Chain A
Amino acid sequence: MIPTSWFLILGAILFSLGVLGVLTRRNGITIFMSIELMVNAVNLTFIAYARELGSLHGLMWVFFIMAVAAAEAAVGLAIFIALYRHRETIDVDEANLMHW
């Protein structure tokens, strides 16, 4: 059986990649995908602990997170479509009206 620590290490790596993506990428969709990566890294960690501890609590949280992530994806995509209609781009650096 694969040790739990491997899952945790993989989760941490995926999460870090996600953070890196969010902070460095300028394309809105890419940032979005990076966020999904971070979310799923957390899901992986939950499942790993659930298996280790033989508890259903972790699994339940994963379902919650997946539902929320789906809603978030729908809203987020809608926002980017609206942004594209106005600006002909989804580069987040271009969407900077709210500043001084």
Chain B
Amino acid sequence: MLDKLALIPLMPFLGFLLNGLFGRRLGKTFVSIVGVGTAFASAILGSYATWEYVHTFHDGERHVDVVYQWFLSGGVGTDIAFQLDPLSIVMLMVVTWVGSLIHLYSVGYMHEEDGYFRYFSYLNLFLAMMLILILGSSYLFAFVGWEGVGLCSYLLIGYYYQTDFAPAAGKKAFVVNRIGDFGFLLAMFLMFMAFGSVDFGAVEKGAIGVGPGALVTGICVLMFVGACGKSAQMPLYVWLPDAMAGPTPVSALIHAATMVTAGVYLVVRSNVLFRMSPTAMAIVAFIGALTALFAATIGVAQNDIKKVLAYSTVSQLGFMFIAAGVGAYVAAIFHLVTHAFFKACLFLGSGSVIHAMGGEQDIRKMGGLRKHIPVTHWTFAIATFAIAGFPLAAGFFSKDEILASALATPYFASLGKVVWAMGTVAALFTAFYMYRLYYLTFAGEFRGTHEQEHHLHESPKTMTIPLIVLASLSAVGGLIGIPHLLGHSLHIPHVLEHWLEPVLTKVAGLRDGAFAVAEQPEIIVMAGSTILALAGWWFAKSKYATRGTAADEAFHENMPGLASTWENKYWVDELYDAIVVKPLHGFSTICWKVFDAIIDGLLSLAAYFIAALGDIIRFFQTGNVRNYALMLFLGVVVFIWVYV
């Protein structure tokens, strides 16, 4: 299997071809079997490859499987090659298994849709592209997957193409991502220029050879611009909340669990380069903290169940970048994994709620769903506890590790404290808005119409099974990264840290990719975030558990300025519209109305002259044979006269 890694992405690609070409004619059963089957096949193949990898390489070496040479031009080139190393394996497991569960869930969720085959072929293509992104052995090949997932994201956001907002949201996602991709491309050009290769290993070696400096910092910052676009960080996060226009399983798979974490993967993958440039790390950490706090505050005032989760995703991605920025790469990947579990569970749960509510997404019209959809309720509750950082749930360990690392980072002491403070406030907001969402949706009295109440029903098995699996993972997923503070006395190692150690290459003169956090800050952070989670919970419970939306109305009354700022997302969309979209639109209109008129006018004028000339000449083209004969005769006469 290790020499056939290409099979892993090829499986869903095959599903894409089959469903895309024949799915419409062969019916929904065929599409379901192919779509879900190929996803699970790649998950099984991936697991088998992992098993073989573990038995072949004992020290976490990098295994590269070259399929063929892509191009070679003047000594610069790259291969189509897949690689397996501990980091790729973590991503592979998350993407294939969570992805397969979401495929399964989609069977139930999308069953009524006409575009069923279209949906599944896009979803399969997405999985194939995501696998190329995480298994590619060079920046360029990973970029192929990077662009591919962007395309699928665009296609799936615009899945409901008959509506006004979905295609617009898709376009927005595509354009904003393009800005980020530009940065990524420039970073790759710099790599080609400086190291003559974009292979992960070669770039790492090249960077170590060159040493810290402007070049490495430039590459890192440009790469982070790309990561900002894909992982929805400020200032390029605006597309992700709009991306909720797509079907809910898509939001779970692409816009929560997998694609949006690609930026984090990229930064961790390039950890040697980042470690050489504390400047770039500071930028990453600060942008991450800013985004985490900013999005968390917006999440407090949103009323669309998916919008709350979308801002929550932006905020959690910010946490991952805090970790990557302060040099705690293991914590970043740890949070990536736990986030994939609980956020996928939350999104799928929200899909189940929307399904039960007959398409209603406004939490003000929900409430009291606890008794109607018990399975959804329980899984959602567990995932809420996990994301809020409730002690012993998955999010507790990963978020604590991030905050403790920020406090203890050896790279920049004072900025680390600022980042830690911002992250802590963001964590408090996270707990609050998640419990607000939970209580408004599931507790209290039902606030929808009578018809909706009558229609309420639990989702089918294909939807509840993935929910149960993901909720279990949200509950116990934190066990892969028990902090040393607790682990030492219980003799449980930090599994993930040990596993990822080989990826964080040790370089002489550079700090290690992992650093120990002293006991004291760890205890402070852990106690602090437990209190915060409980405080957020208590506060949300006291406001929303029984009284419905009364607390929101009171908030609007007492602090109208803050409430409307948060509800309107700080008017960032309006700001971008005013400073980017409007001027661009105006400029395009000028080009269209003025320059186009000039260019087209010149062409039309030339054409007019030619036509006028033709009008004169065509007078001789009578179509009468005898006229032509006469002309011929006269011509001969003139010819003879002149020459003879």
Contact = CB atoms under 8 A, between A and B. Distances in A.
A96 B622 CA distance: 8
A99 B629 contact: no
A54 B46 CA distance: 102
A83 B630 CA distance: 22
B623 A99 contact: yes
Interface stretch (A19-27, A39-47, A58-66): A19-27
Contacts of A96: 622-625
A13 interface: no
B73 interface: no
B624 A100 contact: no
Interface in B600-638: 618-619, 621-626, 629-630, 633
A86 to B, nearest CB: 15
A41 B332 CA distance: 105
B622 A92 contact: no
A92 B626 contact: yes
Contacts of A19: 633
B621 A23 contact: no
A98 B623 contact: yes
A95 B626 contact: no
A97 B630 CA distance: 18
Nearest to B618: A100
Nearest to A96: B623
A99 B624 CA distance: 8
A26 B625 CA distance: 9
A93 interface: yes
Contact of A99 (B621, B626, B633): B621
B626 A23 contact: yes
A1 to B, nearest CB: 29
B622 A99 contact: yes
Contact of A23 (B618, B623, B629): B629
Interface residues of B, number: 11
A99 B623 CA distance: 4
Nearest to A99: B623
Nearest to B625: A92
Interface string A24-50: 001000010000000000000000000
A39 to B, nearest CB: 15
A100 B623 CA distance: 8
Contacts, number: 33
A26 B626 contact: yes
A100 B618 CA distance: 6
Which among B618, B622, B623, B625 has the highest number of chain A CB atoms within 10 Å? Answer: B625
Nearest to A19: B633
Given A19-B633, A23-B633, A93 B622 contact: no
Contacts of B629: 22-23, 31
Contacts of B622: 96, 99
Contacts of A97: 623
A99 B630 CA distance: 16
B630 A93 contact: no
B627 to A, nearest CB: 9
Interface string B395-433: 000000000000000000000000000000000000000
A19 B632 CA distance: 11
Which among A23, A26, A97 has the highest number of chain B CB atoms within 10 Å? Answer: A23
B618 A93 contact: no
B624 A93 contact: yes
Contacts of A100: 618-619, 621, 623
A93 B633 CA distance: 18
A92 B629 CA distance: 11
B291 to A, nearest CB: 71
Contacts of B633: 19, 22-23
Nearest to A93: B624
Contacts of B624: 92-93, 96, 99
Interface string A69-100: 00000000000000000000000110111111
Interface string B528-541: 00000000000000
Interface string B418-456: 000000000000000000000000000000000000000
Contacts of B621: 98-100
B566 to A, nearest CB: 73
Contacts of B618: 100
B536 to A, nearest CB: 85
Contacts of B625: 31, 92-93, 95-96
Contacts of B630: 23
A35 B629 CA distance: 11
A31 B626 CA distance: 9
Contacts of A99: 621-624
A32 to B, nearest CB: 12
A99 to B, nearest CB: 3
Which among B618, B626, B633 has the highest number of chain A CB atoms within 10 Å? Answer: B626
Contacts of A26: 626
A21 to B, nearest CB: 10
Nearest to B615: A100
A34 to B, nearest CB: 10
A93 B623 CA distance: 8
A23 B630 CA distance: 6
A67 B619 CA distance: 38
Nearest to B622: A99
A27 to B, nearest CB: 11
A30 B79 CA distance: 79
A95 B623 CA distance: 8
A100 B322 CA distance: 77
A18 to B, nearest CB: 11
Nearest to B619: A100
A35 to B, nearest CB: 10
Interface in B550-572: none
Given A22-B633, A95-B625, 19 more contacts: A19-B633, A22-B629, A23-B626, A23-B629, A23-B630, A23-B633, A31-B629, A92-B624, A93-B624, A93-B625, A93-B626, A96-B622, A96-B623, A96-B625, A97-B623, A99-B623, A99-B624, A100-B618, A100-B619
12 contacts: A19-B633, A22-B626, A22-B629, A23-B626, A23-B629, A23-B630, A26-B626, A92-B625, A95-B625, A96-B623, A99-B623, A100-B619
Interface of A: 19, 22-23, 26, 31, 92-93, 95-100
Which 7 A/B pairs are nearest by Cβ-Cβ distance?
A: A99-B623, A96-B623, A100-B618, A92-B625, A98-B623, A100-B621, A99-B622
